[in-house]
Structures are given as C-alpha cells and as structure tokens.
Structure 1
Amino acid sequence: MATPAKQEAIAEIADKFRTSSAAVLTEYRGLSVKQLTELRTKIREHATYAVVKNTLTEIAAKEAGVSAFDGQLSGPTAIAFVTGDPVETAKGLRDFAKANPAFVIKAGVLDGKPLTAEEITKLADLESREVLLAKLAGAMNASLSKAVYLFAAPLSQAARTVDALRAKVEAEGPASAPADAPAEAAPAEASEDVATGGDEA
C-alpha cells in the first residue's frame, strides 16, 4: 500500500493531467540541472516541466484516464504539463531536443488524444495560436472592409442621385419644365450622375 507521501504525489500528478490541455513525456538522461533549468525557462510561459517517478506516474495516469504513456514510462522521466499553447510548448521541446541530443521526446497527449513523438514534432511545425488568431483577424478585417465598401458605395451613389434630382428641381422649378418633356429625362441625368460618381469613387 502506498504511503501518504506517495498517495499525495500520485494525486498531484493526476490533478496535473486533468487540468492540462496537453502533456508531453520526455526522457532527460545525461542532462545537467543547468540544462533542465534552461528548458523549464524556455517553456514556462505555456507549460510546467516536472521530473516524476515512473511507478507513481503510471498510477496517476490511470487515475486521470490517460493511456498515452502506457509502456513508455522508463528511464529518467519528466513531463511537460501544458496549460498554455501546445504548439509553442512543442516548439520549445523540439528546439531543445535539437540542441541537446540526449533529450528524448517519447509521447504525448493532447485533449485526451495520444500523440507519438513524430506527431509532437509535426505539432511544433504548426503556427502558434497567436499567429493564427492574428491571421484570422486580418482576414476578417479585410472581409469587413470589403463589405463596408460594397454597402457604402450604393448608398453614396443613391445620395448623389437624390441630391442631383433635388438640385435640378430647385433650379428649374416645376413650371419651367417643358410640358412635352420626356418623363425619363430626369432619371437619365440622374443615372449619368451615378456613373460619374462611381468613377470618382
């Protein structure tokens, strides 16, 4: 039976699994404390990097319903528990692994779905959430600008048409218009104004 200290450790790890959007299992054999501190600093904005005991982690993972690490818990183990952007965390881990060949990314879990080491590398190649949101916002702004222009253009043209008709009526007056003048004369001139106005716009 697990001691109270071990039970507490298991509960803490299980809670981290439950409250994290993702987790990445790594092996840090041969790395110094300084290197591990560097890694923690690199990813701390989006994740916490915790050295764990394999037996306790196996129990905690089962309690949290995580099966992605089954059969993977061996050697000196540490887990990146992601609470921020999984893509940025994956980038940090990948870049650190490139600079430190002794560091191994073994497996991961994202929103409850298992990830292989290769899938984590592919995740690192994606654009970050901030970049994607910025691109989405840019696309939306461009679409909105076009929509505003499309809506505003007919309205401004209609306003110029009304102003032209009003000016014509005020200048000529109802009595000054020839009795046999074609009924379409005013709209024709108005139409001409719309076309002109469209060119100016």
Structure 2
Amino acid sequence: GPSQPSNRESNQEPDQPNKEPNQEVGPTNEDDEGFNNCDRMIFTKRFEAMDDRKKWLLKSGKFVEDVLYDLGMRCKFHNLVHSFIIDCEDRFVQSGFTNNELMEIREASDKQGEMQIDDELLNYISTFAKNSTEEIREALYALHPNLTRNYNPINDFKYEHIRTTVSDWVRLLEMKPNPLTMTNLPESWFRVNVWRTIDIAFSDIPFMFFVG
C-alpha cells in the first residue's frame, strides 16, 4: 500500500508546509564545494526551458518541478533537487510540500510498479554470465545484430549501454592493484569510473544531461 507519513511529518497539519531544516549545516559529501552562482545559472536555465504542460501538477495546484526549483535555489550545497529528483525522506524536500502533497507523490510512485525487461535484452545480459573476465571479453566482442550496421540509437541504445557498462567493469576488475578494494579513493574517482554507468543510462532521453 502507499507509504504513510513518518512521525515527524504527522506533527504538521496536512495542508501546512513542513518546517524547513537548516541548509547551511554542510555538504552531503566532503568533495562538495557548494552550489555556486554558475551552478545556479545552469539550474535556472534548465528550469526555464521546461514546458508547464509537461510538469507534474498536484491536486493542490502546485507544480512539483516549481517546488523543487525553489528548494534548489535555497540550497547552499548540491542536492538531488538540482536534478529535479524527489526524495520524500529528505526533510529539506519535505519542507516544500504539505503532508497531503507528499502522500500524493508517494501514492503515484507506488502505482508505477516494476519495470519489465524484454526477453531479448535479458538474453543479451545473460551472455555475460561467465566464470572469468577472459570469457566476458570474448562475449563483449561477439557480433550482435543490434550493435552492428543496423544499430538504431533510439531502439538499441540499451544494448550499447549494457556492453559499455560490462566493458568498464571488466577493466576495473582486471586492474592491478584492484581499485575496488581500496578505501582511500576520492569521490571524484567514483564519479569518473563507477557512477558514470548511471549517468550514461539516461543518454537516450532527449535534453537530459547529467553533470557529475
């Protein structure tokens, strides 16, 4: 069923905004140098390019994207709202919505259900279920009809993303010493070598850009 408001939310009136926590406490990670003026300009341009007809309109009359933008402009450090991502457990995000609005957002998320992966794509993924990186490399460079001359950037990007991701991880696994076993690597290393897998996953969506 839909998620219920936490205790800290239930102390507020359903139609009253939640109390805003202090956003000057500090960054979410030690590499965060703050959400500067340049970041704000880029964030604002992305927001102003949005079409109101494609925004999420709540029953209260608020656009979710408008609320996230207002929150983002008040942030002192980088936050998920700067990518227009809603984290309903973030007290700062909660401060922009009433409890009724948060409930509506959660209920909509619950109704989406799990995404289904087609059998052909699952079969391609299973070709990398090997016992060694040598065998995985052999599978990586095997010809595939969706990745050769008939490649379609719109329909076949998912195959390319899988192959690129597997290739990246094979490279990391084969490095000596293995960086994945180290504990003192900076967050910037993970952005370049690990989190890029997530960033690239959305490359086929028009006008969506990730800035690490």
TM-score by length of structure 1 reads 0.21
- Which structure has the greater CA radius of gyration? 1
Bigger strand fraction: 1
Normalising by structure 2, we get a TM-score of: 0.20
Pick the structure with more helix per residue.
1
